[in-house]
Amino acid sequence: MITRRDFIKGTAGSAIVFPATLTGLARERKGKLLEKRSLGRTGEMLSIIGFGGIVVKDATTLQASQRVREAIEMGVNYFDVAPTYGNAEDMLGPALEPYRKNVFLACKTVQRRAEEAQEELDSSLRKMRTDHFDLYQLHAVTKLEDVKTILGPGGAMETFLKARDTGKIRFIGFSAHSVEAAQLLIKSFNFDTILFPVNFRTWHAGNFGPQVLEQAKEKGMGILALKAMANKSLASRSERTHPKCWYEPLSKPEEAALGLKFTLSHPVTAAIPPGDEELFRMAMGLASQFAPLSEEEAAQLKEKAQSGDPIFSYPSSQA
C-alpha cells in the first residue's frame, strides 16, 4: 500500500503523486503522429488522446466526417462512444466506417440487467456499422448497489460474457464516477480496462483517483482517463461556457496543457478530452508536444487545485 509520504513525494523527488512513472507502459512515436501507449495486458497500442463520441453529437454529416478524418490524420486510433451521448452513435458510425479496421472502438452501456444490456449492445453495433466492439464497458457506475446488480444473477455481466464468447466484443471494461464503485468492481471481476477521472483537482483536493489507479495498476488493467481538462464544478447549469461540458473546462491552452500533462504523466494509456470540438482539437495539438510534468509544474498544479471545488471527491455521497 502506498504511504502518504510516497503519495506526496512521487517519483524521483518530484511533486507528482502516485507512482507517476511511465516505465510500465510500452510507448511509441512515429513522426508527428500522437504517441501511442500499451493498454494493460490487451496487447493493444492506443493514441494518448481518445476521440469521445460527444465531439460529433449534433454535428452535420460533413462536420462529423471532417472531425473524424482530422483526428485520424493526427494519429488518433482510439474512439469511444455511448448511447447516452445524444445522436453521437448515429453520426460517428458512418463517419468512422472507412477507418474501422484500423481503429480501436469502444462503446458502453448504462444498463445493469442482462436483457436490457443485450438490447443496447445490439443497437449500438447497428448504429456504429460494425460487427464487434474492441472494448465494451459498463457506463458510469457510481452506486455499490449497481455493482451487485451487474455482477449478480441476471445482471449485465452475463451479456458481456456471452458477447465476448460470440465475438461481439473483445475486451471488457467499465467507467466509474465513484471510488467506492470502482474499487468494488476491480476486486470482484478481472476487467481488462478502467475508464476513470484522472484530474489534478479531484486528485489533490478531492482525494479521488490515487487509490483506484493503484489498485488497477496492481491488477494489470489498462487505465483510460476522463476529465483531464476539467477545471472545477459549476455552481449552476446556467453558468456553462461550453454546452457539451457540465463542468468548467480548462479552456486556456497553457492551463489545458498542464491538465493533460498531469494526467498523462501517470500510468495512463490515453485521455479522452471534453466533447467540445474546439477543446478536443486543442487537446490533440497539446498532446502532440507531450512531455512529463516538471517538479515546478507539478507544484503549480497542486497549489492551483486548492482554489476550486473538485468535480468528484472521495468518499462519495452518491455511492
pLDDT of residue 221: 98
b/e 279-296 (16+ beta carbons within 10 angstroms → b): bbbbbbebbbebebbeee
Residue 202 lies in a domain: yes
With CA atoms as reference, report the closest residue to 51 among 74, 33, 28.
74
Cell of 187: 476486486
Residue 23 lies in a domain: no
The Cα 34–Cα 47 span in angstroms is 6
Angle among Cα 173, 8, 246 to the nearest 5 degrees reads: 50
Residue 212 lies in a domain: yes
pLDDT of residue 239: 77
Each residue's pLDDT expressed in tens, for the chain with a length of 319 residues:
333 333 333 333 334 456 578 989 999 999 999 999 999 999 999 999 999 999 999 999 999 999 999 999 999 999 999 999 999 999 999 999 999 999 999 999 999 999 999 999 999 999 999 999 999 999 999 999 999 999 999 999 999 999 999 999 999 999 999 999 999 999 999 999 999 999 999 999 999 999 999 999 999 999 999 999 999 998 766 678 888 999 999 999 999 999 999 999 999 999 999 999 999 999 999 999 999 999 999 999 999 999 989 999 999 999 9
pLDDT of residue 18: 63
pLDDT of residue 8: 34
- Read off the CATH number of the domain in which 150 is found: 3.20.20.100
Q: Which residues contact 32 (CB under 8 A, 6 or more apart)?
A: 75, 288
Instruction: Give a three-class secondary structure readout of 45-98.
Output: EEECECEEHHHHCCCCHHHHHHHHHHHHHHCCCEEECCCCCCCHHHHHHHHHHH
Residue 318 lies in a domain: no
| Cα 157–chain centre separation | 20
Residue 317 lies in a domain: no
**Within a 10 A sphere around the Cβ of 129, how many other Cβ atoms?**
14
Asked if 120 contacts 85 with a C-beta cutoff of 8 angstroms, the reply is: no
Relative orientation angle of helices 277-287 and 61-74, to the nearest 10 degrees? 10
To the nearest 10°, report the CA torsion of 302, 252, 270, 247: 80
Residue 270 lies in a domain: yes
Residue 153 lies in a domain: yes
Asked if 77 contacts 47 with a C-beta cutoff of 8 angstroms, the reply is: yes
The Cα 131–Cα 311 span in angstroms is 36
The Cα 283–Cα 260 span in angstroms is 8
Cell of 21: 512513472
Residue 226 lies in a domain: yes
pLDDT of residue 7: 33
With CA atoms as reference, report the closest residue to 172 among 154, 188, 189, 151.
189
Residue 58, domain extent: 7-17+31-307
pTM as predicted: 0.93
Count up the domains in the chain and report the number: 1
